[in-house]
Amino acid sequence: MIKNILNLGDAALYCDFGSDVNQEINSNVIKYFYHIKKLNLKGITNLTPSYNKLIISYDLNIHSFLSLKKKIENIEIKENNKLEKNLIEIPVCCDNNFALDIKRVENKLKLKSEIILEKFFSKNYFCYMTGFVAGMPFLGDLNQEMRLKRLETPRVKVPKGSVGITEQFCNIYTFETPGGWNILGNTPQNIFDTSNQSNPNLVNPGDTIKFYRITLDQYNEIKR
């Protein structure tokens, strides 16, 4: 299922699963990720699954590129190896104070805001990967008519909890960070919990997300 293994610098394998972004390729990446994670190989210092790549960082004192490449190539993963999937429901408030880019999205998509939100909440989303900043989930896929590019000039600070869309994807900003996605609302739910060291992420690769809409009062209630 891995098409090709290259080196990324002198301390990481770059495993290529294809160039498309779809759930089938991504599920393969995630299967490999969980499988290798479970093997608990000495000297592996990080595994980074993404849409269609898996990067394996290693300790140069323990592995060299060629020897580790061989090890990874010899891994066999059974096709019927089912992914563990959780359905996670996440509340989102689309009050004007939170829907920072709703006007822009209305203009670009030529749809009324209520229609946009109705379409957004009508679908479940698959988690392709988490990262960039701690716990941030990359979710998809949005319907064709909901797709638009990111902001021309990214925001210096996107508020924590913001829910944004771009192209076929949506995400949740787990921390205040710079970013250029189109923000439709905000969740009061904590998506990354530093105090929970065994499982800090609410959403993990392979999970399914269902967003549901809440009022500002409900938002403040949960926040409290």
Partner 1 sequence: MKSKDRNYFKILRAGINTTYQDLGRNNLYHIGIPFSGAMDKRNFQLLNSLLQNDYNSPVIEFAYQGPHLKYFGKDIFFCISGNVSFKIISKEGVIDGNSYQCYLLKNGDEVDIHSTNKSVYGYFSINGTFGVDYYWGSCSINTQAQIGPNNGNKFSKDLEIELIDINNSFNKRKLDYLGSTIENIRVIKGTNYDYFSKSSQNKFFKESFKITKLSDRMGMRLEGPKIENIVDPNIKSEGLVKGVIQITSAGDPIIMLSDHGTIGGYPKIATVISADYDRLVQLTPGSNIKFKDVSLEDAETLYKLYQMETNNLISQIK
The residue ranges that bind partner 1 (CB under 8 A) are 6-12, 14, 19, 21, 33, 37, 44-55, 57, 60-61, 64-65, 129-136, 138, 174-175, 177, 192, 194, 197, 200-201, 204-205
Residue with Cβ nearer partner 1 (144 or 199): 199
Based on CB atoms, which residue is closest to partner 1, 94 or 125?
125
Neighbours of 65 (CB within 10 A): 18
CA distance 57 to 91: 35
Alpha helices in the chain (DSSP H): 23-39, 65-73, 102-109, 113-121, 216-223
Q: Provide CB contacts within 8 A for 55, sequence distance 6+.
A: 8, 12, 13, 14, 15, 46, 47, 48
Residue closer to partner 1 (CB basis): 44 or 183: 44
Nearest approach, Cβ of 44 to partner 1 (angstroms)? 7
Place of tokens 């993990």: 204
Nearer to partner 1, 125 or 192 (CB): 192
Specify the residue, 57 or 113, whose C-beta has the smaller distance to partner 1.
57
- Return the residue matching tokens 């009061």: 188
Smallest distance, partner 1 to C-beta of residue 108, A: 18
In the complex, minimum distance from the CB of residue 84 to partner 1, in angstroms, rounded to a whole number? 15
Strands (E), the chain: 4-7, 12-16, 44-49, 53-58, 87-93, 124-130, 137-140, 155-158, 162-166, 169-172, 177-179, 182-186, 208-214
Nearest distance in Å: CB 213, partner 1: 26
Distances in Å between the alpha carbon of 101 and those of 62, 87, 135, 161, 163? 49, 27, 23, 15, 11
Query: Which C-beta is closer to partner 1: that of 16 or that of 106?
Result: 16
Q: What is the closest distance, in whole angstroms, from the C-beta atom of residue 21 to partner 1 in the complex?
A: 6
Tokens 């992914």, residue?
Answer: 83
Q: How far is the CB of 46 from partner 1 (least distance, A)?
A: 4
